[in-house]
Amino acid sequence: MKRRDLIKRGFGALATLAVGETILLSPDEAWAAATPRRKGKDALAKAQPRVPHDYRKATVVRSVCLNCSTVCGIEGHVIDGKLVKVSGNPEDPNNGRSLCAKGQSGPTINDYPERLLFPLKRVGPRGSGRWQRITWDEAHDEIARRIRRAMDEGKPEEVAIHVGRSRVGEETTRFMNAVGSPSVFNHRAICSSNKRAANYVSLGETDWETGDFERSKYIIDFGANVYEAHQGAIHAAKRIIRGRFDNGAKFVYFDVRMSNTAGRADEWFAPNPGSDGAIALAMGNAIIAAGLHNREWLDTWSNVAADDLAKWIDRYTPEWAEGVSGIPAADIRRVALEFAHAAPAAVAFTNRGSGAHYNGFNADRAVILLNAIVGSIGQPGGYCYTVEPTRIPPQVFPHPLPMPPSPKAKSAIENPPEWPLANKWQRMKVGQIVYRHLLQGKGKVQVYLSYTLASPQTWPEGRSLALRVLKDEKLIPFHACSDIVYSEMAHHADMILPDASYMERWGFDTRNNMELRDYVTLRQPMVAPPGECRSFVDSLIDIARRIGPDTAKYFEFKDHEEWIRRRCEPFGKRVGEDGFAYMRKHGVWQDTSKPKYYALYDWPLSAEELKNTRVDEATQIVLRKAADGREAPVGLMVKGTARRGFITPSRKFSVYHPDIEAAAQARGFDEDGGKGMPDWFPVPSIERMGQEQLHLVTFKWNVHTQGRTQSQKYLSEIVHHNPMWIHPATAARHGIRTGDMVEITTYRPHGHGMRGGGEVVGKALVPAWVTEGIHPRVLAVSNTLGNQFHGRAATAHNGPRQALEAAWDRAAVGEDADLDERVWWDPARGGTGAGYNVNAILPIQPAPLVGMQGWFDTVCSIRRA
Ligand SMILES: Nc1nc2c(c(=O)[nH]1)N[C@H]1C(S)=C(S)[C@@H](COP(=O)(O)OP(=O)(O)OC[C@H]3O[C@@H](n4cnc5c(=O)[nH]c(N)nc54)[C@H](O)[C@@H]3O)O[C@H]1N2
Ligand SMILES: Nc1nc2c(c(=O)[nH]1)N[C@H]1C(S)=C(S)[C@@H](COP(=O)(O)OP(=O)(O)OC[C@H]3O[C@@H](n4cnc5c(=O)[nH]c(N)nc54)[C@H](O)[C@@H]3O)O[C@H]1N2
Ligand code: SF4
Ligand SMILES: [Mo]
């Protein structure tokens, strides 16, 4: 038999695949063909004796976790080239020594037996699972050639990069700017853009608050599941615990579900979905009515003075909010007044529980406003913030020059005009319409690069609309997927680029710092990647060099390591030593040269900052004249002194925002704060819900992250089953008991931007779990399970690696006795299986102005199957 006719099968064969050979990786076929190889109980385990590690012999490498977007500082303990353990980086200002279960499971990724090892190119139809091993040169040449063609045709915008939960925004943007394409599609509208936009509107210079929980006396949390999920879970939760137990803070939590956070709260309320904004406005109303608002703060710092705000908020009484939310007016009033009494050491904050709704932008604005009403913005124990918390400070770690200019080309997918505020403060995009717009011909792609993205699993209408488009070679003519395991995304690509894991590659990272200072962390390889895995950024550098001199000139560094080293060189002056060596040793740098960012708006302008300035009489804004004669605001006169103020048009905390009013008027509607003020309006589909219809929400488990952890065996051993939570009264009405299969039917939403409403989106079958820990009209299914790919732990298949042709080569990537012999959740061993994914039936629904996905607005009906 000629070598090229030989088709190897399954992941076991991957390790011995030579360049030019083909392999079949389609899970179904590979599983069906897998030879059972039982050698007696735990035979493989006996062959793989467990050796206790002597950690004193370990080399410690500091880096950053990326098993979720909390990005905790970590220390890797490496023995004989193997990462045997991670622990918290004690110098990290946010998490210190603390890590969660997901973080500790990280090392299982590195020698995962089903890791992708070589670049692969599709042979046969897309999605058939048949691949040929190619070299990196071949992979990069082909991608570069296709990008060059689009550029030469004058269509650089048809080169797209689609990123999920990644942390290489600066690198991908530089690459795409060099190509001249604006088509960087991201996931923020899927994730948290309502919350980010609300912070930008109100404060002007941050997308994320930093509650000073440790010093707080009263904490109200609207749907941030801080003990389990949240961005910054460890960071926030440990400080909330200290606030509660060391500082006597009270913790009040709103969630439609009895999450672990609800279980730890002093009071838990289950509001009607989509009503958090109404509750927050009513709390503001109650505080002002009782005269407990901070009149002085509002009159000084808010662009709507106390008396005007009182008039606006007058309509949102606790009684009105009770009708909307189902939470008794007496409780709303009582919590509000307790909160006001604790102020300024009082903080109200949010995450996706309030924000992932059609009306979530306003809900989050209302919660931020609540802090302003009691004057806790920037105060110890209050609602604090840092400056641009998601950016690596370019003045400290400057980008190597020359920098490519921003692209001139436009893309209606990247910047859809229907959502005028989507890209206003940050490139937040409207990610959920990417596939729909491609289907409708509102934009085109020639080259589609996907990175850390599992859209069939994690996006709305995932296995329905997203998959349909991913399979269509006319709509996506070329798809190269960067992944570390054989995912659903990789399966539907034309080329697979096996990435280095976050423990095997370079990168900078940062987020908001609970210590209210700027800080930066370094991600560095703890171990070498297996096989030919290579960091995606290194691929981008290499591809940019191959496209042509016009792109190569922006990438004159050998690799990502050198790029980072160069950014660290100027930083070295700050610390008085080699900047790169400093970062590698500490893993983190915190800027302690300035005071903590308390009440940043109140910081006086220095004599230096006041040079060439004048004060505008009408607004009291301090304006500085630049060399070209143009004036820009730099501060605000407050009681005779020049202060920094907020970085908003009025230089004050923005209750009213002119851009919102203008955007709503341009779109011809009044919702979503159409008067420019924080408002509440009903989610249209919820407003029209029939008597028997229910809300379907999803949520995150504490031990799983979206589409990226299910292949990690310890995590999937802990959680691999996700039945639908249903209240006993609702279950009884439908004759449903725990374990019964339930058919869920979902309906298309009403609302702006999308046509239709009320039609069936789809049906799913999910088992029930009857529990009192949920709102009677809400059903909840977690969004992180139901994998069809990603290997044995994720798909609940016990048995040998899908090794057919090849003896597995332990030297390349070893087999794992746990996966071979102990996946007890395999249905073939009487287990419950890998869970359910309901994203296929969750409709795309962007919020009116900002475009964030209304994840938790889905209306459905159920019946016992
Ligand atoms: N129903 C429902 N769905 C949701 C949500 C919800 O609330 N409800 N929440 C949403 C939220 S908040 C978000 S942020 C999105 C996130 O969803 P995505 O944007 O899809 O991000 P992830 O799930 O983190 O990405 C998973 C993919 O990245 C791959 N991967 C993991 N590590 C690496 C690596 O080092 N390199 C490369 N190249 N690939 C890697 C994984 O194998 C997997 O294929 O999900 C959303 N999905
Ligand atoms: N363990 C874990 N941690 C993670 C992640 C993960 O996947 N797993 N992902 C990271 C990412 S990318 C993100 S964006 C964050 C998300 O962090 P969170 O926002 O904390 O988590 P979610 O589960 O998306 O949503 C929070 C809660 O909203 C509730 N909810 C639904 N509707 C409503 C409502 O109308 N009102 C209220 N008050 N609550 C409601 C749900 O029951 C859920 O418990 O977590 C980050 N950290
Ligand atoms: S919260 Fe857990 S998974 Fe997320 S970064 Fe921190 S340790 Fe890693
Ligand atoms: Mo997210």
> What is the pLDDT, as a whole number, of residue 354?
98
**Are the C-beta atoms of residues 110 and 531 closer than 8 Å to each other?**
no
Report, as an integer, the average pLDDT of 543-564.
97
List ligand 3's pocket residues with C-beta within 6 A: 65, 67-68, 70-72, 99-100, 102-103, 233-234
Q: Would you give the DSSP letter of residue 641?
A: E
CATH 2.40.40.20 in the chain, residue ranges: 688-796+832-864
CATH superfamily of 193-373: Dimethylsulfoxide Reductase, domain 2 (3.40.228.10)
Phi then psi for residue 79, to 5 deg, are -125, 125
Least confident of 34-38, 616-620, 639-643: 34-38
**Mean of pLDDT values over 578-584:** 98
SS3 21: coil
What pLDDT shows up at residue 5? Answer: 53
State how far the Cα of 353 lies from the Cα of 357, in Å rounded to an integer: 8
Q: Tell the residue nearest (CA) to atom 16 of ligand 2.
A: 230
CB atoms near residue 579 (< 10 Å):
23
Give the residue, by CA position, lying nearest to ligand 3 atom 6.
72
| Res 112: pLDDT | 84
120-191+409-549 adopts what CATH topology?
Answer: Rossmann fold (3.40.50)
DSSP line for 327-380: S-HHHHHHHHHHHHHHTTSEEEEE-HHHHSSTTHHHHHHHHHHHHHHTT-BTST
Selected residue with higher pLDDT from 453 and 165: 453
3-state secondary structure of 550: helix
pLDDT computed for residue 820 by the predictor: 85
Backbone dihedral region for residue 799 (phi beyond 0: left; psi -120 to 50: alpha; all else: beta): left
What does the pLDDT look like over 484-509, one tens digit per residue? 999 999 999 999 999 999 999 999 99
Alpha-carbon Rg for the chain, nearest whole angstrom, is 27
Contact between residue 92 and residue 588 where contact means Cβ atoms under 8 Å apart: yes
Which pLDDT value is given to residue 16?
78
User: If you take atom 19 of ligand 2, which residue's CA is the nearest one?
Assistant: 352
Residues 234-247: tens digit of each pLDDT: 999 999 999 999 99
At 49 the pLDDT is: 66
pLDDT of residue 11: 74
Q: Which of 72, 85, 260, 718 to mutate to test the pocket of ligand 3 (most atoms within 8 A of CB)?
A: 72
Looking at all shown ligands, the one closest to residue 259's CA atom is 2
Residue 172: phi and psi, rounded to 5, are -65, -35
Residues of CATH 3.40.228.10 domain(s) within the chain?
193-373
Answer whether 454's CB lies under 8 Å from 487's CB: yes
Which of the four pLDDT bands, split at 50, 70 and 90, describes residue 319? very high
Does residue 379 have its Cβ closer than 6 Å to ligand 1? no
The side-by-side arrangement of strands in the sheet containing 346-350 is 267-269, 250-254, 218-222, 346-350
Q: Per the structure block, which two tokens stand in for 859?
A: 């209306």
pLDDT on residue 668: 87
Percent of the chain with pLDDT over 90: 85
Pocket test for ligand 3, best of 64, 66, 67, 226 (most atoms within 8 A of CB): 67
pLDDT at 105 over 50: yes
pLDDT band at 25 (very low <50, low <70, confident <90, very high): confident
pLDDT tops 60 at residue 290? yes
- pLDDT band, residue 807 (cuts 50/70/90): very low
- Model confidence at 194: pLDDT above 70: yes
* pLDDT recorded at residue 811: 42
* Ligand 1 nearest atom to the CA of residue 699, by list position: 7
Across residues 117-144, what is the average pLDDT? 95
pLDDT at 14 (0 to 100): 76
254-281 tens-digit pLDDT: 999 999 999 999 999 999 999 999 999 9
Q: Is the pLDDT of residue 436 over 60?
A: yes
Q: In what order do the strands lie in the sheet with 507-509?
A: 507-509, 519-523, 588-590
Pairwise pLDDT comparison (115 vs 839), residue with the higher score: 839
How far, in Å, is the centroid of ligand 1 from the Cα of 165?
Answer: 6
Q: Which fold has domain 688-796+832-864?
A: Barwin-like endoglucanases (2.40.40)
Asked whether 327 and 271 are in contact (CB, 8 A), the reply is yes
- pLDDT at site 51: 72
For residue 681, give Cα distances in angstroms to 316, 659, 686, 848, 850.
11, 19, 11, 11, 15
Give the C-alpha separation, 346 to 215, whole Å: 9
Mean pLDDT, residues 599-607 taken together:
97
- Residues with beta carbon < 5 A to ion ligand 4? 191
pLDDT exceeds 80 at position 50? no
- Is residue 487 in contact with ligand 1, taking CB distance under 6 Å? yes
Indicate whether 38 pLDDT > 90.
Answer: no
Sign of CA dihedral 221, 224, 228, 231: negative
Spacing, Cα 706 to ligand 3 middle (Å)? 13
A 10 A CB-CB count for 572 gives 15
The residue type found at 265 is: A
Residue 230 vs residues 101, 226, 296, 513, 639: alpha-carbon distances, Å:
15, 5, 33, 14, 39
Nearest-atom number in ligand 3 for the CA of 98 is 7
Q: Which residue has a Cα nearest atom 2 of ligand 1?
A: 783
What does the alpha-carbon distance between residue 279 and residue 112 come to, in Å, rounded to a whole number? 47
Mean pLDDT for the chain overall = 93
CB of 225 within 6 A of ligand 1: the answer is no
* Whether the CB of 855 sits within 6 Å of ligand 1: yes
| Residue 159, strand partner residues | 447
355 lines ligand 1 (CB under 6 A): no
Looking at residue 751, what is its pLDDT? 81
Least confident stretch, 468-477, 514-523, 669-678? 669-678
d(CA 586, CA 583): 5
Closest CA to 545 of 137, 259, 6: 137
